[in-house]
Structure formats: structure tokens, C-alpha cells
Amino acid sequence: MTELINGRTVLTTPFSDADIRALHAGDVIFINGDVITGRDDVHIRVTGEGMDLPVEIRGKALMHAGPIVTGSAGSGYEMISIGPTTSMRMERFEYDFIKKTGVRLIIGKGCMGARTAEACSEFGAVHCVLPAGNAVVAALCAEKITGVEWLDLGMPEALWNIRVKELGPLIVSIDTNGKNLFDEKKKDYAVRKEDQLQKISKQMGSILE
Amino acid sequence: MTTEEKKEKLTDIMASFIGHTAIHLPDDVVSKLEALRAAEDDPAALSIYDMMFKNMRLAADLGRPSCQDTGLVQFRIECGSRFPLIHQLSEILHDAVMKATAETPLRPNAVEIFDEYNTGSNTGTGAPALFWDIIPDSDSCGIYTYLAGGGCSLPGQAMVLMPGDGYEGAARIVLDRITSYGLNACPPLLVGVGIAGSIETAALHSKLALLRPVGSHNPNEKAAAMERLLEDSINAIGIGPQGLGGSSSVLGVNIEYSVRHTATIGVAVSFGCWTHRRGHIVFDSNLDCTTDTHHGFTCGR
Ligand code: SF4
């Protein structure tokens, strides 16, 4: 479900195909509902070792994140700090992961590549960037930790199930039309980089004189 | 105080200092971020800066780590040869990391090589990393703390170039890394460049460069000129906060060096992210301490 709340575009899980396909790279959104965390080890288990996710995330959100959590299963868990980790590390697994799990929205940091973009158009998913390093702001959006699986992987790698309220701003970086915000930025950066290297090369000469 | 009591005191202060640096960014980084925000006109970049300042405030109010990745803990130790606890310092810093991990809390990030398990305490084989320097005839001890996050460690690179590649070769490594992996490392970044004769000396200098204050310059005028040149060039690329575009890309560029071999030029680059969690604390022989990085930290609880 997509709503406009106080000028913010807010999507609530479960996301429909139409909710997701209406998003464009560069859009800024917030989300409500169910998010699970999953990073390197979770992806390796699901795509490499063929294990099934112990929770259903079809139509929901996956966050590339390893939080700091206190408490225990008995006393209840508290989210202290959470923020996105480098999404690119998951690039090699993400096509298969999206295909197998039906996840619709991936939250991470920085860019992802062509295979993820393919999966996004094929299965109706988006990748979004949550500005990283803002782990307390994000932790306060996590209303409740509803469960944890695969804690044997260690606190950062485990599958934390979280209920979030207006988590964001999420900047859509890959949309369902295959548009990848970072690819465009990277092209600009590459051109400017070469210009700057030429300038540096000229000026270093006079610095060293 | 007995040696045991002194050890306990130093362990306690270091554990609370490490925790403090995970929660509060150093004063120089905060002022630089304020200056970058003031100079920014891209609306998306401005909204990211606003989020950063809101996060800093909430982290301080709630006493929580500002970023969930509290990194691997590293120390640069400038220890006087007559500092009373010189022999116990390694053990003290090890215990301080364990204590800070439990009490702050810090995220356990240390994974043992080959056995591939998380030690849970941020300590383990060779962890915390200690980069020692012994200061002859001094009885005080200066300790730099650094929380090396995964995201900002990832773009690090070291290479040994041929002299013909020149300083331009070094500049290319820096710009190549920052425009690729650097985008994911939470810019605006602090860039530490090390230049020396071999790979490990260059790499160590690149880390020492990150420990220098933001806004400081190398005393060698040519090195300082190269720092300014690289800073202006990287800003001109327009990477912006989170790599999504903006008028500045870096907190600064710091260069440190030692001599090179006549036939080589070793170059390394290390990056610190916008949550550049560096601290500096100095103990005298009575274990009274001062810090020039965190105005809000009082030694002894
Ligand atoms: S790069 Fe720095 S700010 Fe970004 S997630 Fe890692 S530790 Fe946090």
C-alpha cells in the first residue's frame, strides 16, 4: 500500500507489484512494516547452500544490515543501532535471492550492479539507499524486533525480523525499469576524474620544482 | 596505587574513552561537517547532512553508537620509555576493548581467520591492532584510538609503483578508489595517503595520516600542496554525501611519508568515513589524562 503522509510517500508491507513498479530511481520514500536483515552469510546460505529462509519475506523488505542489539530471547531484544552495509558485496547473490524469496524492496548502502537490476525488472523489486552512518535515527524507526533466526551466524550476520515505522529517507537507486542511479552518477564521476587527473599531472610538476 | 590498581584505572578510562568515541564524533570532524553543510546547495545532499546532524544529536542524547558498525578497534601508541605501565599496556588495551564492547555496547566484528567465527569481544589473534612507537626518556603516553569500519576499510589499497609513474601514479590510485569503492564508504571521506618505499610502510603511513586532525597539513610544503591539490580535485568530482552527488566529497586529504627506495614508490590509501571515530588521549605518569579530540570527555568517571 502506498500513501502520502505529511508530504512523504510511505509504502507499507506487503508491497504489491504495482506499488513497486510505480517507483522511479531518485524517488525518496519511507516504509512501514516488516523488514528482515540479511547480509553476506544469509545470502550464501540461501543462494549458495540452498537453504530456505526460515521466515517469509515475499512482498516485504530486506535490509543489508548488521545491527547492534541488546537483550535476549527471554527478556526481549532492543535495537540499539542499525544501518545499511555495502550492498555491492551481495551483488553476486542478489538475482537468485530475489527470485527465490520474492522480496520486493532491498535497503542498503551504495550501488548494486547489472544482475540485481535485471532481477528488479523481472520480478518487480527495487533497491534503495538509506543514508548510512545514521544508526540511531534508523534504530528509532524500528518499533519492535519480532524475532531472530540464524543467530549462530553472530549478531551482525543473523536474520533480525523488525517492524519499522516510517523508516527512511530511502532513495530509490534501482527501479523496475532497469534504471540505476549510481551507474549514471558513476559515468559523470569517471569523466570528471580524468579531467582532474590531467590537472593534477600539470600542477604536480610545479609543486615538485 | 599498586600496579594492579593502576592497571584497573587505565583499563577503565580506556574502555570509557573507546565507548565515548563510538557515540560522539571528534570535535574537528563535527566542525568540518558543519562547514561542508553550510557550503552545500544540493537539496538531496542537504537532507543527508540534516539526517547526519540529527543522528549525532540522538546518539549523544541516548548514549548509543552513532553508527552500528563500530569497526575493528585499532591503537596508535606513542609511549614514553619511562611510562609506568609500559609493560602492561598491551594487556590493558586488550581488556579495555572487551570491556567497551560489553558496556557501550560495540558490535562484535572480529572474525578469526581460518576458523571463521566471530569472537564476540572484538579481540582475537592480533586484535586489537597496536601500532607502537616508543618515545625515549618520556614518562607520559599518548594513545590514538580508531574504530575502523568495514565500509570505509574496503576501499583501502596499497601498491608499489615504479618511479616513472611519479606522484601522478599515486594521485590516480587515490582518485580511482574514491570514485569506485569510495562511493560506498560513506563520503564525505577523510583520505589518508601514505608514500614510502614498500607496501607495508606506505600502508602504515596511510593509517597514521587518518589519525592527523581534519584540516591539518603536512609540515612539508610540497606535501601540503599535494594535499590541497587532491582535496580540490576530489571535491570537483562532486561525489557528495553517500556518493549521490554534492559540492564536496571529502573531509580532507592527509599525506604522511617516509623515504622511498631509489627504484620504487610505494603508495597506499586508507579512508575514513564521515563518522570518523578517531580519539586521542594522553596520560601522564600519574595516569591523569587529557584529550584534544573530544571536549565532552572527562577523564575518570
Ligand atoms: S562506512 Fe562508516 S559510517 Fe558508513 S556504515 Fe561503515 S562505519 Fe558506518
Decide if pLDDT at B197 tops 60. Answer: yes
> What percentage of chain A carries pLDDT values higher than 90?
92
Decide if pLDDT at A84 tops 70. Answer: yes
Residue for grid cell 597539513: B217
Question: What does the pLDDT look like over B47-57, one tens digit per residue?
Answer: 899 999 999 99
Decide if pLDDT at B43 tops 90. Answer: no
Using omega within 30 degrees of 0 as the cis cutoff, is the peptide bond preceding B128 cis? yes
Determine whether the shortest distance from the Cβ of B186 to ligand 1 is under 6 A.
Answer: yes
CA distances for B95 relative to B2, B13, B276, angstroms? 18, 11, 23
Contact B149, B22 (CB under 8 A): no
CB–CB of A200 and B230 under 8 A?
Answer: yes
Atom of ligand 1 at shortest distance to CA of B275?
3
Task: Report the pLDDT value the prediction gives residue B300, as an integer from 0 to 100.
Answer: 61
Ligand 1 centroid to residue B275 C-alpha, Å? 7
Question: In this predicted complex, what is the ipTM?
Answer: 0.92
- CB of B171 within 8 Å of a chain A CB? The answer is yes
Contact A127, A113 (CB under 8 A): no
**Which DSSP symbol is given to A65?**
B
Q: Which CATH number fits domain A2-178: 3.20.130.10, 1.10.3300.10, 3.40.30.10, 1.20.58.100?
A: 3.20.130.10
- CB of A203 within 8 Å of a chain B CB? The answer is yes
Residue for grid cell 540499539: A80
Question: What does the pLDDT look like over A12-63, one tens digit per residue?
Answer: 999 999 999 999 999 999 999 999 999 999 999 999 999 999 999 999 999 9
Sort strands A61-63 and A105-108 into parallel, antiparallel or unpaired. parallel
Closest CA to A125 of A105, A142, A110, A108: A105
Mutate to test the interface with A, among B184, B190, B195, B275 (most CBs of A within 10 A): B184
Contact A203, B189 (CB under 8 A): no
Q: Domain extents for chain B?
A: 3-25+66-149+277-291, 157-272
Determine whether the shortest distance from the Cβ of B201 to ligand 1 is under 6 A.
Answer: no
Catalytic residue flag (residue A43):
yes
Task: Report the pLDDT value the prediction gives residue B181, as an integer from 0 to 100.
Answer: 92
Rg (CA), chain B: 19
CA A76 from centroid of its chain's CA atoms = 25
DSSP structure string for B181-214: GGGGS-SSEEEEEEEESSHHHHHHHHHHHHHSPT
State the cell numbers at B274. 564521515
Tell me the nearest-neighbour CA distance from B130 into chain A, angstroms: 24
Question: What does the pLDDT look like over A155-183, one tens digit per residue?
Answer: 889 999 999 999 999 999 999 999 999 99
Q: What is the average per-residue pLDDT within A108-116? A: 95
Decide if pLDDT at B301 tops 80. Answer: no
The verdict on pTM exceeding 0.90 is yes
| A68, A190, A200 member nearest B68 (Cβ) | A68
- CB of B101 within 8 Å of a chain A CB? The answer is no
Tell me the nearest-neighbour CA distance from A127 into chain B, angstroms: 14
Question: What does the pLDDT look like over B208-228, one tens digit per residue?
Answer: 999 999 999 999 999 999 999
Mutate to test the interface with B, among A191, A200, A203 (most CBs of B within 10 A): A200
Contact B92, B123 (CB under 8 A): no
Scanning B21-60 for CB atoms below 8 A from A yields 44, 47-48, 51-52, 54-55, 58-59
The topology (CATH level 3) of B3-25+66-149+277-291 is Dihydrodipicolinate Reductase; domain 2 (3.30.360)
CB–CB of A134 and B54 under 8 A?
Answer: yes
Q: Which residue's alpha carbon is nearest to atom 1 within ligand 1?
A: B151
- Rounded distance, CA B17 to CA B301, Å? 10
Determine whether the shortest distance from the Cβ of B29 to ligand 1 is under 6 A.
Answer: no
Question: What does the pLDDT look like over B86-128, one tens digit per residue?
Answer: 999 999 999 999 999 999 999 999 999 999 999 999 999 999 9
> What percentage of chain B carries pLDDT values higher than 90?
97
B154 falls in which pLDDT band (50, 70, 90)? very high
Q: Domain extents for chain A?
A: 2-178, 182-209
State chain A's mean pLDDT as an integer: 95
Task: Report the pLDDT value the prediction gives residue B195, as an integer from 0 to 100.
Answer: 98
